[in-house]
Amino acid sequence: MLPVLFRIGPLRVESYYVIWGLALAAMVIWTRSRAEKRYAMDFNDVTGVLQWVMAGVLVGATAGGYIDNWSRYAESPIRILYIWESGLSSGPGFIGGGLAGLYKLRKLSLSVNNFAEAASVPCALLLFVGRWGCFLNGCCQGIATNSPLGVRFLRDRLTPVYPTQLFESFAALAIGICLWIAERKMARTPEESSRGALLWPSFLMSYGLYRVAADFLRSGDRIFGLRVGQYTGGLAFVVGVAWMAVSLKNIRLAEDGRSAGV
């Protein structure tokens, strides 16, 4: 579509990196603001956690890029050293960022649940905006199709494919809107949220299910018939279910404790 936004002499300003960079910046700024104002977390503490999250996202997404395109490196192992060719993969990026953030939150003795709730809606925004970078770049596209949904990219003008980048973008937007509405309807206090997260496990479950189902329409390398995004999506769903179960149990125990104290 539009892989290069403009050129400054020999320098190419690529839409993929510009849009994903803006999406990541917006996610970080909004998460930090929400964590401080809505979930009563210290600004400096959250900033430190987000720095670890971003480092983890970069490492995970880069490693995922290698796995996501494993056939390229199996054919020519020397290309593993070409870091600029690895690309990025959102699923492993989430895993890397999540693990790094969890480590830092535990080290600072901060509420994992409150931070996760603060990050839930901004993460949906991240995917909604970021996938437009993939669309303009022509990467992460779908399999060939003759349906009216098919689009043609500059790299292969003759073959229409599913615009799976936009499918994921609008799915993330729908998830984000639902979480935003639910957050306002529940109107939970920071103390209530710290006992058990509800938005974040809902995000993990809904986005994980989407990736497992929709990646059948994605082109690219597969491992045992499935893409990397489907494995990470399945993991996200399982973690979300477990997290939600623990949260609901803790919330119920807290309510029973208050009732017993009355």
Q: Return the closest-CA partner of residue 97 out of 140, 67, 59.
A: 59
Whole-number Å distance between alpha carbons of 169 and 134: 10
Burial of 172 (C-beta count, 10 Å sphere; 0-12/13-18/19+): buried
Q: Return the closest-CA partner of residue 123 out of 176, 84, 185.
A: 176
Whole-number pLDDT of residue 82: 62
In degrees and rounded to multiples of 5, residue 156 shows phi and psi of: -150, 80
Q: Summarize pLDDT for 165-186 with one digit per residue, the tens.
A: 999 999 999 999 999 999 999 9
Whole-number Å distance between alpha carbons of 41 and 240: 23
Whole-number pLDDT of residue 85: 60
Whole-number Å distance between alpha carbons of 144 and 7: 31
Instruction: Give the chain's residues under pLDDT 70.
Output: 70, 79-87, 155-157, 259-262
Token pair recorded at residue 202: 């809902």
Annotate the chain with three-state secondary structure.
Answer: CCCEEEEECCEEEEHHHHHHHHHHHHHHHHHHHHHHHCCCCCHHHHHHHHHHHHHHHHHHHHHHHHHHCHHHHHHCHHHHHCHHHCCCCHHHHHHHHHHHHHHHHHHCCCCHHHHHHHHHHHHHHHHHHHHHHHHHHCCCCECECCCCCCEEECCEEEEEECCHHHHHHHHHHHHHHHHHHHHHHHCCCHHHHHHCCCHHHHHHHHHHHHHHHHHHHECCCCECCECHHHHHHHHHHHHHHHHHHHHHHHHHHHHHHHHHHC
pTM for this entry: 0.88
Whole-number Å distance between alpha carbons of 249 and 244: 8
Token pair recorded at residue 170: 């609008």
Q: Using the CB atoms, write b or e for 217-242: b if 16+ within 10 Å.
A: bbebeeeeeebbbbbbbbbbbebbee
Query: Cβ(152)–Cβ(160) under 8 Å?
Result: yes
Token pair recorded at residue 150: 């098919």
